[in-house]
């Protein structure tokens, strides 16, 4: 059967790949997981959507955030105390050294309190939780 250009439809189909060409193949579906693999997947899915586990994680996150706030407040209080000691020392070398030591300790405590959530996030990322 000729087309409008004088060729046959079979030639046009063959040029474009046609239905028997290699380009129209559908990808084969992946093989189905066996029973053992399915049991493992079911456990993973159950852990991922377990509302009890999510509630526990939420409670623990709340406790962590509260502890960070309390520790940060204590560290700022200790830093203020160290500043007051420095002023009261009035140039006395031993008083100034004690105040500097207290200030360093307060700053280390404040740094650890503020980095605690970051450290927890890094550990969670490493273990994949």
**How many alpha carbons fall within 13 Å on the CB side of residue 86?**
13
Domain residue limits at 110? 55-129
Query: For residue 20, what pLDDT band results from cuts at 50, 70 and 90?
Result: low
Q: Considering the chain, what percentage of its residues have pLDDT values greater than 90?
A: 36
User: Are the beta carbons of 37 and 44 closer than 8 angstroms?
Assistant: no
Handedness of CA 6, 8, 9, 12 (dihedral sign): negative
Residue identified by tokens 């456990």 is 43
Q: In terms of Cα–Cα distance, which of 87, 107, 108 is closest to 96?
A: 87
User: Are the beta carbons of 19 and 13 closer than 8 angstroms?
Assistant: yes
- Given a cut of 80, is residue 46 above it in pLDDT? no
4 inside domain = no
- In the predicted model, what is the mean pLDDT of residues 38-49? 58
Helix axes 51-89, 93-127, angle to 10 degrees: 160
- In the predicted model, what is the mean pLDDT of residues 46-52? 63
109 inside domain = yes
The DSSP annotation for 6-59 comes to SSBHHHHHHHTTTTTSGGGPPPPPPPPP-HHHHHHHHHHHHHHH-HHHHHHHHH
- In tens, the pLDDT along 105-119 reads 999 999 998 998 898
78 inside domain = yes
pTM of the complete model: 0.55
35 inside domain = no
19 inside domain = no
82 inside domain = yes
- In tens, the pLDDT along 53-89 reads 788 888 988 998 999 999 999 999 999 999 999 999 9
Number of domains in the chain: 1
27 inside domain = no
12 inside domain = no
Give the pLDDT confidence score for residue 13 in this predicted structure. 47
Handedness of CA 104, 107, 112, 113 (dihedral sign): positive
């Amino acid at each position: 059967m000729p087309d409008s250009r004088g060729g046959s439809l079979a030639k046009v189909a063959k040029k474009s790949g046609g239905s028997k060409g290699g380009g129209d193949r559908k990808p084969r579906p992946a093989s189905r997981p066996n029973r053992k693999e399915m049991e493992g997947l079911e456990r993973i899915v159950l852990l991922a959507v377990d509302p009890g586990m999510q509630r526990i994680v939420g409670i623990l996150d709340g406790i962590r955030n509260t502890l960070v706030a309390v520790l940060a407040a204590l560290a700022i209080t200790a830093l203020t105390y160290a500043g007051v000691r420095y002023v009261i020392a009035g140039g006395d070398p031993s008083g100034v050294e004690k105040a500097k030591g207290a200030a360093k300790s307060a700053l280390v405590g404040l740094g650890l309190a503020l980095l605690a959530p970051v450290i927890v996030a890094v550990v969670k990322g490493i273990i994949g939780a």
